[in-house]
Chains A and B, each alone.
Chain A
Amino acid sequence: MSDLPENLKYTKTHEWAQLEDDNIVRVGITDFAQEELGDLVYIELPELGRKVQAGEQCAVVESVKTASDLFSPAAGEIVAVNVALVDEPEQINKDAYHTWLFCIRADAVADLDQLMDAPDYAQMIEH
Chain B
Amino acid sequence: MLKQTPLFDLHLESGAKMVPFAGYQMPVHYTQGIIHEHLHCRSHAGFFDISHMGQCLIRGDSAASELEQLTPSDITGLEPGQQKYTVLTNSNGGIIDDIIVTRNASGLMIIVNAACKDKDFAHLKSHLSDRCHFEDLPDHALFALQGPAAAMIMQKFSPETADLSFMQSCEADISGIKCNISRSGYTGEDGFEISVANHYADQLARLLLAEDEVEPIGLGARDTLRLEAGLCLYGHELTEAITPVEAGLQWVFKKGHSKFPGAHRILDQLQHGAERIRTGLVVDSKIPVREGSVIINNEAMPIGHVTSGSFSPSLGRPIAMALLDRSSASPGNILYAKVREREIAVAVSKLPFIPHHHYRLKKS
Q: Hey, which bits of chain A sit against chain B, CB under 8 A? A: 35, 38-39, 41-42, 44, 60, 62-65, 67, 86, 93
Q: Are A67 and B220 in contact (CB under 8 A)?
A: no
When A38-B33, A41-B286, A41-B288 are in contact, do A65 and B340 touch as well, CB less than 8 Å? no
Q: Are A64 and B287 in contact (CB under 8 A)?
A: no
23 contacts between A and B (CB under 8 A): A35-B17, A38-B17, A38-B33, A38-B34, A39-B34, A39-B35, A41-B35, A42-B286, A42-B287, A42-B288, A44-B287, A44-B340, A60-B340, A62-B287, A62-B288, A64-B220, A64-B313, A65-B28, A65-B34, A65-B223, A67-B288, A86-B286, A93-B33
The interface size bin for chain B is 10 to 19
Contacts of B223 in A (CB 8 A): 65
CB-nearest residue of chain A to B290: A67
Q: Hey, which bits of chain B sit against chain A, CB under 8 A? A: 17, 28-29, 33-36, 220, 223-224, 286-288, 290, 310-311, 313, 318, 340
CB-nearest residue of chain B to A90: B35
Contacts of B220 in A (CB 8 A): 38, 64-65
- Report the Cα distance A62→B287, complex, angstroms: 8
CB-nearest residue of chain B to A65: B220
Contacts of A42 in B (CB 8 A): 286-288, 311, 318
Q: Are A41 and B29 in contact (CB under 8 A)?
A: no
Expressed in whole angstroms, the minimum distance between the Cβ of A62 and any Cβ of chain B is 5
CB-nearest residue of chain B to A35: B17
15 further contact pairs, Cβ within 8 A, besides A62-B311, A64-B310: A35-B17, A39-B36, A41-B286, A41-B311, A41-B318, A42-B318, A44-B287, A60-B340, A62-B288, A64-B35, A64-B220, A64-B224, A64-B313, A65-B28, A65-B34
Contacts of B290 in A (CB 8 A): 67
- Report the Cα distance A39→B33, complex, angstroms: 6
Expressed in whole angstroms, the minimum distance between the Cβ of A81 and any Cβ of chain B is 16
